[in-house]
Copies of this chain bind each other. A is one copy, B any other.
Amino acid sequence: MDIDVSRPILARNEELAEINRERLARSGAFALDVLASPGAGKTTAILATIAALRDRYRIAVIEGDIASKVDAEKVKAHGIPAVQINTGGACHLEADMISRAFDAIPLDELDLVIIENVGNLVCPTEFDLGQGARIVVLSVPEGHDKPLKYPGIFAMAEAVLLNKMDTMHVFDFDIEEFTDSVRRVNGRAPIFQMSAKTGEGIAEWAEWLAARIESAKA
């Protein structure tokens, strides 16, 4: 006998994600779900993105972590509204957590809500949050073989950010193999080579995101 306990939980999440999506559509805000493994540089990439777009758009951040408030504090230190969600052990954010976070930010006054998911290349893929787009950040130190090992997350990403390009000289990272392995599961997502630390490649990625924000308003 097989009992799939995950089905009712996921169905309920889908309903709540749909409500989040409608709420975003009404407000005209675009929500970006940022996925990555721990230490890929999500928070630094988010801060670099904010720096590139804050003059044009009103931005808030929802930070997801198992525990701690360090990321929300980092974002707030830059004068950007941030809500910290602590999942208390869960390896992903869920739609109801985002719904409660939306209550805590002025959604109608925002253009962009950046959601930093829990650091994990597996669990978050199953949980729709109602976001406008999902992206995955991989960092050079993690190695070029990751799309082969975690195909699900690379298959669903609408853009791939290859971060920490400034450390390329220290690691044996094969860009061609990486691109090939992304392309094996995902034919369309652009791959942005960047360094959130040095600012390299941020402008190209920010322009892609700006185009998505504009489509959400149209």
- A99 on the B face (CB < 8 A): no
What is the bound-complex CA distance between A11 and B99, given in angstroms? Answer: 33
A91-B122, A120-B120 are known contacts. Are A68 and B149 too (CB-CB below 8 A)? yes
Per a CB cutoff under 8 Å, which of B68, B90, B118 touches A148? B68
User: Which of chain B's residues have a CB closer than 8 A to the CB of A150?
Assistant: 38, 66-67, 119
A and B contact pairs by CB, cutoff 8 A, 26 listed: A37-B39, A38-B146, A38-B150, A39-B139, A39-B142, A39-B143, A66-B122, A66-B151, A66-B152, A67-B148, A67-B149, A67-B151, A68-B145, A68-B148, A89-B122, A91-B123, A119-B149, A120-B121, A120-B122, A120-B123, A122-B123, A139-B141, A141-B141, A141-B164, A166-B170, A167-B171
Q: Which residues of A184-198 have CB atoms within 8 Å of chain B's CB atoms?
A: none
- A77 on the B face (CB < 8 A): no
The minimal Cβ–Cβ distance linking A212 to chain B, given in whole angstroms, is 26
Instruction: Please give the number of chain A residues whose Cβ is less than 8 angstroms from any Cβ of chain B in the complex.
Output: 35
| Chain A interface (Cβ < 8 Å from any Cβ of B) | 5, 9, 37-39, 65-68, 70, 89-91, 118-123, 139, 141-143, 145-146, 148-152, 164, 166-167, 170-171
What is the bound-complex CA distance between A151 and B67, given in angstroms? Answer: 7
User: Which of chain B's residues have a CB closer than 8 A to the CB of A65?
Assistant: 149
Contact indicator B119/A141 (Cβ below 8 Å): no
What is the bound-complex CA distance between A38 and B67, given in angstroms? Answer: 19
What is the bound-complex CA distance between A67 and B118, given in angstroms? Answer: 21
A68-B148, A70-B149, A141-B141 are known contacts. Are A121 and B38 too (CB-CB below 8 A)? yes
